[in-house]
Amino acid sequence: MSLNQLIENCKRNDTKAQGELYKLFASKLFSLCLKYSRNHAEAEDNLQDAFLTIFNKIEQYKGK
């Protein structure tokens, strides 16, 4: 499945698509969270918060 199709499915609240999107980007985003966090646990919390924000605001994504 292409990234664009995955995003469209996430916009429809498809939990399977959300899981796939998480698998694709979690490791990269987690390394970024580690860079800006004081410890591993805080980075995990920040990662979780980031994905909640992504999924709550994915309707705003215009493909740019």
Judge whether 10 lies within some domain: yes
Judge whether 64 lies within some domain: no
Is the whole model's pTM more than 0.85, yes or no?
Answer: yes
The structural domain count of the chain equals 1
Judge whether 34 lies within some domain: yes
Judge whether 47 lies within some domain: yes
Could you list the residue range(s) of the whole structural domain that residue 42 is in? 3-57
Helix (H, G, I), strand (E, B) or coil at 12: coil
Q: What is the pLDDT along the chain (64 residues), one digit of tens a residue?
A: 899 999 999 999 999 999 999 999 999 999 999 999 999 999 999 999 999 999 999 999 988 7
Contact 29, 47 (CB under 8 A): yes
